[in-house]
Amino acid sequence: MGTVIYSLSMSLDGFVETPSRSLDWVQVDEELHSFFNEQSRKVTTSLYGRRMYELMAGYWPTAPSDPDASPVEREFAEIWAQTPKVVFSSTLREVGWNSRLVRGDPVEEVRRLKADPAAVIDVGGPALAGTLIRAGLVDEYGVAVHPVVLGAGTPYLPALDQRLGLRLLETRNFASGVVFLRYAAETTTDAAAERTTGAATAEPDPS
């Protein structure tokens, strides 16, 4: 089975955006952006809901021609454009930039994508991630914890009916004060740990 990864920037109190959906608290310097680029190169498919797709498509296709864009931002723009994307929406009429529109059930589509052992699937946005987490399809969680407390906003994780066990795989500190944490979900395929350790065995996938 492939690996489904959910990774976002998060405040210390667990939010990924303010109540007004602002991201002005996320400070991505060159060091952190280079790390994000490195992670993005490993992705074979990116998943988006409508809002996150529109946010990304609103800037990254034009970033290479933006005189204010830094070299690492232009590099990410190229990676983003080249990565195949699946957009789940019942309201969008069309998508571009190497994207495919799916109007059906995200769970069934992700199960199909995950059947490819070489797949590294990145989930963009907490709403879509929540659907896949509840279905037991997310194998790996990444959080870039920023040194800020928002007090309220959109949580990184959804409300769950049962406890979700995680195993720490990686920590990384950045000069900006950001700490990146990567976890494997103990209740799904252990593909994330296998990629890290080279282990030949994996836990059964309940999905």
Chain segment 106-153, per-residue pLDDT in tens: 999 999 999 999 999 999 999 999 999 999 999 999 999 999 999 999
pLDDT at 104: 87
**17, part of any domain:** yes
- Look over the chain and give the mean of its residue pLDDT values, rounded to a whole number: 90
Tell me, letter by letter, the H, E, C secondary structure of 83-111: CCEEEECCCCCCCCCCEEEECCCHHHHHH
Helical ranges in the chain per DSSP H: 30-40, 50-57, 71-82, 106-114, 126-134, 191-197
Render pLDDT for 20-59 as a digit per residue (tens, 0 to 9): 999 999 989 999 999 999 999 999 999 999 999 999 999 9
Give me the CATH number covering residue 75. 3.40.430.10
What digits encode the pLDDT tens for the residues 30-41?
999 999 999 999
> Residue 145: CB partners within 8 Å, gap ≥ 6?
10, 11, 12, 178, 179, 180, 181
Segments forming the whole domain that contains residue 110: 3-199
Q: Any idea which residue has 């593909």 for tokens?
A: 191
- pLDDT for residue 187: 66
Instruction: Let me know if residue 206 belongs to a domain.
Output: no
pTM of the model: 0.86
Handedness of CA 150, 152, 157, 162 (dihedral sign): positive
- Give rounded-to-5 percent helix, strand, coil for the chain: 30, 25, 45
Is residue 205, in this structure, part of any structural domain at all?
no
159 lies in some domain: yes
**pLDDT-derived band of residue 188, with 50, 70 and 90 as boundaries?**
low
CA angle, 123 then 125 then 131, to 5°: 70
Q: Using the 8-state DSSP alphabet, how is residue 65 labeled?
A: G
How far is it, in rounded angstroms, from Cα 107 to Cα 56?
22
Is 176 part of any domain? yes
Does residue 204 form part of some domain? Answer: no
pLDDT at 81 over 90: yes
When divided into structural domains, the chain yields a total of: 1
